[in-house]
Structure 1
Amino acid sequence: MPFAMEVDISPTIVQNTVLQFQQRNAFTSGFVDVVADYQNLLRRCKESKIRNTQLEKEALELRAENATLQQAVEHSAHAAVSNEKVAVAESRAKELQEELTGVYKEKSRLAEELVAASRQLQIVRDSNEAQARELIDLAAKGRDMRARIKELSDALEKEQAATSLATAELQSRLEEKEAAEKRAAKLENEQAELSKRLVDLKMSEIERMNEVNRMCEEMMTNARNMERAAAASSASSSQVGRFHSLPAGSLTGMVNGIMAKTKGVMHGAIESLVPDAPLRSVPAHEGGCYTLAFDRSGQRMASGGADKVVRLWDACSGHQTGTLLGMTESVTEVAFTCDQKHLLASGADKAVRMWDLASGRVRHTLTGHSQKVSSVDCSPLEPNRAVTAGTDRCIKVWDLGRGYCTSTLICHSSVNSVRLTMDGFAVVSGHFDGALRFWDLRSGKLANEVAGLHTQQITSVSIGLRTGSVLTCGKDNVVKVTDARSFQVQPSMAAPGFAVGGVWSKACLGPDERHCAAGSSTGSVFVWGTEKGNLVKTLREQGSAQIVQAACWSPQGTPLVSANKEGLITFWQPTPEDSSHHDHSHQRGHHHLHGSRHTH
């Protein structure tokens, strides 16, 4: 039985298969050899098919010829054909049979090669698919790596920005330290010079007092001698008339008058009286006063400074009423609770202390900041809530009843000042990068931001009592008011000669929010009108050139209090509205000033 095997592969399928493989492997050069081998196998398959077709055609022809020859043999046998022709025909038939057998063998061999080629083609397909899957996996990994690289690049950029900001902060702190060291050296020299001048002045006063005492003793001696001479020569009328005009009482009165005038002249030489001077100036803190705060009533004020002491004052008289101890480093800011029963003070020792004003004892020491606590403020509605901020870029909310931190807000920049809004639900913070940020305490997230409000760091934030407007003071020597509802910034306030003296210099708003005040490094206090941003008045105490570091306005509208680098607290009189009021206020201010200087 003849053997036949047919493999039917459509040329369209072959071409589509080749095209698909070419498109799939076009993006890489690693499959060129595979594609070439595959094409060679297809070509060989095609040639084998053609050869198989030819062989089948030849086999059909041979079978037809064989059948013809057999018929001829049979016919010749029946027709008595000669044996020679039969032999030739049989020989030819045998050759054709052998040739047909060879053709079948060749066809079988080609079929086996085609099967082997098909198997090899399947192997190539499987390898190609595996490599395609591997390429897909590698492409996915590549995308993941690119995304990871982008994330790392963004993180690196943020870290570089944070590092740059920290470097700038560190450089600023170093510059402040160098400036502080220079100022300290200068102050030491000035203190030595002042001490020398004070000693010389005291020695001069002592000499003058000795001279006055000597003159008094001489005059008293002369008076007694004259009294004795008058008594001894009473018989002589001429002498009696001579000494009758100089009785002992008159001489003693004259001596007392001379003493009084001498003391008045000496006192006037020490003090310098200036018109429109402040109501009262009081030395409060050695090394400088950094912060001032009134309670809600405006009757009591607190101050803190470099001497690690918090002092309490009667705002009306300007006299000290108490002292709170317990701080281990400088006091950066003070604040009264809304019930006026406690006072909080933040310090450079990374802690905040809370005093009971009735007993004067420390009730809580709030810890949790890793660096200096730069600011503290109490809720205007809840006596047990307060907020603090520090140079560690953290804002912390405290439960004063338990003395625990209830939440912490992480900031992008160091916080120089922080305030609670009037409703107690939001926190306003001023930062080293010059931005003003609003935080929602209910969600613990940043609610809004006024970026670039100041070109340099914000030194203080203050919130008005009437509409809640936010006053900011910046190291760029500009004071600004921002509407807390619309976040619109009103006209900036600046003035010739106004320069902020420190990174924690504190400005203040008046209770009606129509005026604001800020101290300058020149020793002056500048007062502006907030509606137009115009300079209203410049207050300056004669002979004082120390940096004014803090200003605070009483909720009652008066007084305005300022504190300078020397530790002197000054109570300023209200600005007169008319000439008659001005004259009356001037006389009253002169009287108080004279009394205060006489007292101290």
Structure 2
Amino acid sequence: MSFPAPKPEGPQIPQHLLQTVDCLQGPVRAVRYNVDGNYFLTCGADKSLKLWSASKGTLLKTYSGHGYEVLDADSSFDNSQICSCSADKTVILWDVASGQVTRKLRGHAGKVNCVQFNEDGTVMLSGSIDGTVRCWDVRSRRNEPIQILDEARDGVSSLKAAQYELLTGSVDGRVRRYDLRMGQLHVDFISSPITCVCFSADGQCTLSSSLDSTLRLMDKSSGEMLGEYKGHTMKGYKLDCCLSSKDTHVLSCSEDGHVYCWDLVEGSLSLKLPVGKAVVQSLSFHPSECRLLTAMEGRVQLWANEPETEET
């Protein structure tokens, strides 16, 4: 006589609040895990960028050099450098250990909304309200971009780099995917201003959020719509979306104080995470663990799939 095998446990999603960090830098515009999830960055309206320990929530270093609020940041693959962008139209490259400005790059004609390193940390990419993406050589001392992508007809709100590809979202309602190896451009017309774009972990799909309160999952090669996710509110703010580290769930910030989490395949709402009473501005999913960072006003909250157990 045999017993039936236990039903496999479904994918876990972060829903237990582990810690709240008061960042003391005005409204937090963006929160970003580093490449291995040991640290995270917060971008503040007080013109500062801060580096925090992800396990303890303690402040490790403050970087000051922008002339206006910091809007986005990214850390290099070896955690030696940080790049940040600001409403002051500049992109800054920082040395993590010393906290010093390595280079301050100018060239955008308006505020810079998004910034990211490529995978090997040799190039910085920045997207601006001026409708361009500029590519900066990190290794050289030249202060001019090595390439300018100017296909967008309105401001570039979000960008993500993966291997030889670059994904951008624009206020003109288009998601553009550049194949830098083949020199090709693929465009998906969404018809509503794009607020955030990202690749799936397996690199086969793209996710975009827009101001019609809809997230769209697209097959990267065919452009086929694989899923739409609705229920949240995104009508007037540039808010983040992302996929979980194992591509099981789609997550989005919302103007109603929640983070919404949908099952990627079924499209059903799995969790409506109550973060607070204000707009949830930014989020970042841990690169390997089931942990989530959310930013609201001047604080960041760390969420996990299980409550934290006290050490004995």
Q: Which structure: greater strand fraction? A: 2
User: Paired residue for 1:333?
Assistant: 72
- Give matches, 1:468-547, under 5 Å: 468-495=204-231, 498-500=232-234, 502-541=236-275, 544-547=276-279
Q: Number of aligned pairs?
A: 294
Aligned match for 1:441, one of 164, 180, 196: 180
1:348, 1:520 → 2: CA distance?
23
Query: In the alignment, is the contact (CA less than 8 A) between 1:501 and 1:549 conserved in 2?
Result: no
What is the letter of the counterpart of residue 240 of structure 2?
Answer: K
Deviations 1:567-596 (A, max 9, x none): 11010121xxxxxxxxxx34x37x69xxxx
Please point out which of 193, 197, 208 is paired with 1:457.
193
2:290 is aligned to 558
Please state how far the C-alpha of 1:339 moved relative to its aligned partner.
2.1
Q: Does 1:573 align with 2:304?
A: yes
Residues 442 and 430 (structure 1 numbering): CA distance in 2 closer, same or farther, change over 3 Å?
A: same
**Which residue, out of 151, 156, 168, partners 1:429?**
168
Which of 280, 294, 302 is 1:548 aligned to?
A: 280
CA offsets 1:229-255 (integer angstroms, 9 cap, x no match): xxxxxxxxxxxxxxxxxxxxxxxxxxx
Please list, as runs of the form range in 1=range in 2, the aligned pairs for 1:196-595 lying within 5 A after superposition. Answer: 278-380=17-119, 382-404=120-142, 405-411=145-151, 412-421=153-162, 423=163, 425-442=164-181, 447-451=185-189, 453=190, 455-495=191-231, 498-500=232-234, 502-541=236-275, 544-564=276-296, 566-574=297-305, 585-586=306-307, 588=308
**Structure with higher helix content:** 1
Shift of 1:435: 1.1
Unaligned runs of 5+ in 2: 1-14
CA separation of 1:573 and 1:502: change in aligned 2, threshold 3 A: farther
**1:171-228 CA-partner distances (Å, limit 9, x unpaired):** xxxxxxxxxxxxxxxxxxxxxxxxxxxxxxxxxxxxxxxxxxxxxxxxxxxxxxxxxx
The alignment partner of 1:279 has SS state of strand
Post-superposition offset of 1:432: 0.7
- How far off its partner does 1:403 sit? 4.6
CA distance in 1, matches of 2:272, 2:212: 19
Distance 1:475 1:309, change over 3 A: same
Q: TM-score, normalised by structure 1?
A: 0.47
Structure of larger gyration radius = 1
Q: Give, in angstroms, the shift of residue 443 of structure 1.
A: 6.6
C-alpha displacement of 1:287: 3.2
Residue 72 of structure 2 contacts residue 86 of structure 2 at CA under 8 Å; is this kept in 1?
yes
- Structure 2 counterpart of 1:506, one-letter code: D
CA-CA distance at 1:302 after TM superposition: 0.8
Q: In structure 1, what is the Cα distance between the partners aligned to 2:74 and 2:59?
A: 17
Kept in 2: contact 1:299–1:315 (CA 8 A) = yes
RMSD over equivalenced CA pairs, Å: 1.9
Contact 2:132 2:148 in 1 (8 A): yes
Judge conservation of contact 1:416–1:432 (CA < 8 Å) in 2: yes
Task: Quote the offset at 1:356 in angstroms.
Answer: 0.7
Partner of 2:12: none
User: 1 CA distance for matches of 2:58 and 2:74?
Assistant: 19
Could you tell me how far 1:317 is from its partner in structure 2?
A: 2.3
User: Under a length normalisation based on structure 2, what TM-score does the superposition of the two structures give?
Assistant: 0.88
Residue 464 of structure 1, CA deviation: 2.5
Superposed CA offset, 1:344-402 (max 9, x none)? 1111010100111111111011111011111111111x211121110111111110112
Corresponding residue SS for 2:172: coil
Change (3 A) 1:547 1:501: farther
Q: Trace 1:77-156 onto structure 2 (pairs within 5 A).
A: none
CA separation in 2, counterparts of 1:443 and 1:516? 30
- CA deviation map 1:285-316 (0-9, x unaligned): 44311112112111111110211111111112
Unmatched tracts of structure 1, length 5 or more: 1-275, 575-584, 593-600
Contact 1:427–1:439 (8 Å) recurs in 2? yes
Aligned to 1:492, what secondary structure does the other structure show? strand
Q: For the structure 1 residues 323 and 488, does the alpha-carbon distance in structure 2 shift closer, same or farther, using more than 3 Å as the test?
A: same
SS at match of 2:239: coil
Letter in 1 for 2:59: Q
CA contact (8 A) 2:212 2:235 kept: no
CA distance in 2, matches of 1:403, 1:290: 29
Structure 2 vs 1, CA of residues 429 and 342 (structure 1 numbering), >3 Å: closer, same or farther? same
Which amino acid is the alignment partner of residue 504 of structure 1?
A: K
Secondary structure at the aligned position of 1:296 is classed as coil
Distance 1:492 1:317, change over 3 A: same
Kept in 1, the 8 Å contact 2:213–2:235? The answer is: no
Deviation per residue, 1:38-67 (Å, 9 max, x gap):
xxxxxxxxxxxxxxxxxxxxxxxxxxxxxx
Separation (CA, whole Å) in 1 of partners of 2:247 and 2:66: 33
Structure 1 residue 429 displacement after superposition: 0.8
* Alpha-carbon distance between aligned partners in 1 of 2:204 and 2:123, rounded to the nearest angstrom: 19
